[in-house]
Amino acid sequence: MRPRVLHALLMISAAACSGAPGAPATPAPPHTTDAPAVAELQPTPAPTPPTLRLPGDVRPVRMALDLTIVPTAATLSGHLRADAEVVTSTRVVWLNGNGLTLEHASVAGHDATVIPGNDDFVGLDAGTALVPGPVTIDVDFTAPIDHTKSQGVYAEAEGNDTYAYTFFEPIDARRAFPCFDEPAAKVPWQLSFHVPSDHVALGNAPVTAEHDDGDGMKTVELAETPPLPSYLVAFVVGPFELVDGGTAGRAATPIRFVIPKGRAAELRWAKEVTPKVVAALEDYFDMDYPYGKLDVAVVPRFWGTMEHPGLVAMGQPLTLIPPDQETLPRQQSYANILAHELAHYWFGDLVTMAWWDDTWLNEALGEWLDVIITDAAMPSWRYSDERLERASWGMSADEADVAHPIRRPVDTREGIQASFDNAITYAKGSTVLSMFEAWVGPDRWQGFIRAYVHAHAWGNASAEQFIAAMGEALGVEVAAAFRTFLDQPGVPRVTATVTCAGGAGTIELTQQRSLPPEATMTTAQSWQLPVCVRWSDAHGKHGGRACTLLDGGAGAIATDACPARVLLNDGATGYYRSTYDGATARALLATPRRGDAYALAGIERRMVIADVAAAVALDRLPVTDALAMVPDLLADRDERVAVAGLSLMLIDNRVLDDADYARSHRWVRKVLGTLARKLGWSRGAHDSDDRHRLRRSVVAWTAYADDPTLVKQARALADTWLAQGTGVSDDMIGGVLGVAAWNGDAAFFDRLVAAAKATTDRRTQGRLIRALGDFRDPALAERARALVLVDDFDIRETRSIIYGQIYENATREAMWTWLQDHLDDVLGRLRMDEAAGLMASIAGAFCDADHRAAAAALLGPRAKTIDGAETALDQALEGVDQCIARAARQLPAIQRFLARY
């Protein structure tokens, strides 16, 4: 539970009214004489604080902060000076503040009374009415330095040193200082710091001056920033090591890495690829990097990665890669996430959404562009293929009654957090953008994006302005079609019927909303849908490609011959499901023949696999049809297709009794065993990256199904790694440790605990703790649960034990019982977004009506107190409902299938 500040603010107000405000933490600047004209007011009732948004009667023009920060301390102190404009007459200036202590405040040079607000607001009563015109606001305050949840200004220890960082998105700047904490309040900021003499202090803008204060402290002054909303203000303070990263781009932008002391040797990859990402972004926008400097602040955990202008935050496990751990997945993770964060320098920082209902303008655009930039920086990776996984994720979430539009109204705190929905805002949003890019052509689309960014640079924009720019650059019909995807939920499902006469053909197309049979929403919904179809004869000698805008329920494409093969999503760029029966899907998935001019590319075959999986989930194709496709797909010479084929192993262990669960393991060993043992745990000298990707997918899966050879190998490799730190590649160690734990004894459990306590590397510790969640022996699983809340480990690591146990048949019920006794303690130690995600995962672990009802009863009331949790829980519970209905339809066929094993 988040602590409330009302009691503290009441005490502050009483002190202010008594004329004893207390000494300011830092000297206040001289009172100004710019007081606007005033008018006497009659006594009025105590003002009512805002509920979500500031009233808009006062808006900022420029903000200045003077902060005293010692990372080991519990609080920071500071002085805010805000140059503002009174828009409409008011007596009270409302600011955002959460958990702050306001020691003194003045408005227009006169002492102001602090008015208690609520968790989000504090008022400054000027005593007289402020009339329209300029006004200066001064506030002395203290704010907490968080040492447990990584929110607001937070601190983390590294060895004997402690470092302070910030993370304010979406509405946590108010935890650090009073401010106008809304994205439309985009103004220049000037920051100065008082910090220990041996510490570094950095922010969004360059350091302009530094001088000794005596008593072991110094002052660091920064230049004024370009206009920024409060959530993008950032700073770090601590005994950092600064590592030169060279320069990048057209203006030779200087790059530095801001890291904990002693870890510079782990920056090789980051130093190589960061300039490439900057250059690729400049090329895409045909614009110089906009923020003068690029400091990469390496923050302690994966979470905390953030697009602060000039001071991008990148997670330590992403950025710091020891030379012996520099595998392709780690290289790709850093490069792609950096591309995403720096894409925000244009989408979000340079052009900022006006309010959180347009979070998609930041996140969907950033997600769409990060793939393009990663491809440009590292073309050999073929990283654009990864967009298919994002598309499938978005579509799966969209096939639900509770699905929401990409752009959703935000009128609650819950709505602000929920606007960052990964599946819809990010994955669906980016896929829809890619679809329209493919429809109009990449060059025209790029021209539109450049024009939009240039038109709104250094300001704010809304969906209406984005769509207006689209209409101007690409045509009103494109903008109108795009809007049908922005403002309504759901994913289209396209069905084709082929008719032939006189040597020619017609492909009749229909669309409806893709939903499972148990859904209550209507499928009679349509979009202005760009559909691109590729067709050919049976041998691929003659065919064609055509696109149409499917406006309304039906449309048609004429062909000059009778099609024998029709691919409904040419290029796999469309955001829609394609309807295929089993025979058609098998024909499309067949290995391409030599000389087939219209053969499906790998990404198109993977899209067909995703369509098959969706058809099974939504009861449009028998599950046994999909299961029968798996062996041929695993043997495919395109190993990315083989990996995708694993997604058709559609047997959900949650619905199986013990006997069928054992049979499912025998089936996995039968289907995957030969390939998995051939691949083994170690990469061969001549294995391609795609071959190794297949290894990562197949071997651990088979070992968890109790393949004795792989289990024995995993335990031996785990023992060697624990003793020597060698013998297993970095991208396989998670599977090795997990399988060893799955079959482990008490001695192995003790070794993992000891290693987790001994290591100083967070990534290594996280892996060890995650493995502790894989023990299925009841006594050892109980010991693992006892570690979730111990002081030796951070809850942000030990929550992985909850995930591990709640999703495994052998431990689910015991973990559920434990959670009923300990849930409040767990949630109270997590940030709201972490708590919301955990609650959704707990609910989503079940597939029966009794547990569904119990989860709703336990989690529902708590979700109302946690921002974003109600939306996440609703989505999870509908997923359970779908699972229950799907099991009722499919379980008999699955049981007959498994009876053969």
CA 538, CA 564: separation in Å to the nearest integer?
A: 5
CA 836, CA 404: separation in Å to the nearest integer?
A: 17
Which residues lie closer than 8 Å to 108 by C-beta, 6 or more apart? Answer: 32, 34, 35, 36, 126, 130, 135, 136
Starting at the earlier edge strand, list the strands of the sheet with 577-578.
554-559, 504-513, 492-501, 577-578
CA 91, CA 107: separation in Å to the nearest integer?
A: 10
CA 324, CA 730: separation in Å to the nearest integer?
A: 8
Core vs surface per residue 451-484: b (16+ CB within 10 A) or e:
ebbeebeeebbbbebbbbbbbebbeeebbebbbb
DSSP assignment string, 116-140: E--SSEEEEEEEEEEPSEEEEEEEE
Amino acid at 189: W
E strands, 131-267, are: 133-144, 152-158, 161-167, 189-196, 200-203, 207-214, 217-222, 235-238, 241-248, 253-259
Q: Helix crossing, 623-634 with 869-898: angle to 10°?
A: 80
Cis omega before residue 170 (within 30°)?
A: yes
Residue 76: C-alpha distances to residues 177, 705, 831 (Å): 10, 53, 20
Helices (H) and strands (E) in the chain, counts: 27, 29
Q: In the prediction, which pLDDT does 344 show? A: 99
Starting at the earlier edge strand, list the strands of the sheet with 565-567.
543-551, 528-536, 565-567
CA 880, CA 77: separation in Å to the nearest integer?
A: 48
Q: Which of 643, 661, 537 is nearest to 587 (CA)?
A: 537
Please give the span between the terminal C-alpha atoms of the chain, in angstroms, as a whole number: 49
Question: What 3-state DSSP class applies to 400?
Answer: coil
Q: What is the dihedral of CA 641, 647, 648, 652, to 10 degrees?
A: 170
Q: In the prediction, which pLDDT does 39 show? A: 43
pLDDT < 70 stretches in the chain: 1-45
Q: In the prediction, which pLDDT does 585 show? A: 96
CA angle 798, 800, 802 (to 5 degrees): 90
Question: What 3-state DSSP class applies to 571?
Answer: helix
Q: How many CB atoms lie within 10 A of CB 579?
A: 21
Distance of CA 191 to the CA centre of its chain: 29
CA 687, CA 685: separation in Å to the nearest integer?
A: 6
Instruction: Record the tokens describing residue 737, joined without a space.
Output: 């440790």
Q: Which of 23, 161, 43, 143 is nearest to 95 (CA)?
A: 143
Q: Is 825 left (phi over 0), alpha (psi -120 to 50) or beta?
A: alpha
Starting at the earlier edge strand, list the strands of the sheet with 311-315.
241-248, 253-259, 294-299, 311-315
Q: In the prediction, which pLDDT does 454 show? A: 98
CA 774, CA 509: separation in Å to the nearest integer?
A: 48
Distance of CA 327 to the CA centre of its chain: 22
Provide, for the chain, the percentages of residues in helix, strand and coil under a 3-state DSSP scheme, each rounded to the nearest 5. Answer: 45, 20, 35
Contact 530, 549 (CB under 8 A): yes
Q: In the prediction, which pLDDT does 44 show? A: 55
Environment class of residue 1 by beta-carbon count within 10 Å: exposed (0-12), middle (13-18) or buried (19+)?
exposed
CA 233, CA 224: separation in Å to the nearest integer?
A: 12
Q: In the prediction, which pLDDT does 8 show? A: 32
Q: In the prediction, which pLDDT does 43 show? A: 53
Which residues lie closer than 8 Å to 773 by C-beta, 6 or more apart? Answer: 741, 784, 800, 801, 802, 803, 804, 805
pTM for this one? 0.93
Question: What 3-state DSSP class applies to 530?
Answer: strand
DSSP assignment string, 441-474: -HHHHHHHHHHHHHHHTTEEE-HHHHHHHHHHHH
Which residues lie closer than 8 Å to 564 by C-beta, 6 or more apart? Answer: 536, 537, 538
CA 734, CA 741: separation in Å to the nearest integer?
A: 11
CA angle 15, 21, 25 (to 5 degrees): 135
Amino acid at 656: L
Question: What 3-state DSSP class applies to 244?
Answer: strand
CA 648, CA 671: separation in Å to the nearest integer?
A: 12
E strands, 228-371, are: 235-238, 241-248, 253-259, 294-299, 311-315, 351-353
Q: In the prediction, which pLDDT does 645 show? A: 98
Q: How many CB atoms lie within 10 A of CB 692?
A: 21
Contact 165, 304 (CB under 8 A): yes
CA angle 359, 362, 367 (to 5 degrees): 115
Instruction: Record the tokens describing residue 371, joined without a space.
Output: 């793939």
Residue 840: C-alpha distances to residues 22, 169, 419, 858 (Å): 45, 21, 16, 12
Q: Which domains does the chain have, with CATH numbers?
A: 1-238 (2.60.40.1730), 240-326 (3.30.2010.30), 346-486 (1.10.390.10), 492-634 (2.60.40.1910), 655-898 (1.25.50.20)
Which residues lie closer than 8 Å to 562 by C-beta, 6 or more apart? Answer: 498, 500, 503, 504, 505, 537
Instruction: Record the tokens describing residue 175, joined without a space.
Output: 């935890």
Contact 359, 415 (CB under 8 A): no
| Beta-ladder partners of 510 | 495, 554
Instruction: Record the tokens describing residue 222, joined without a space.
Output: 């920064």
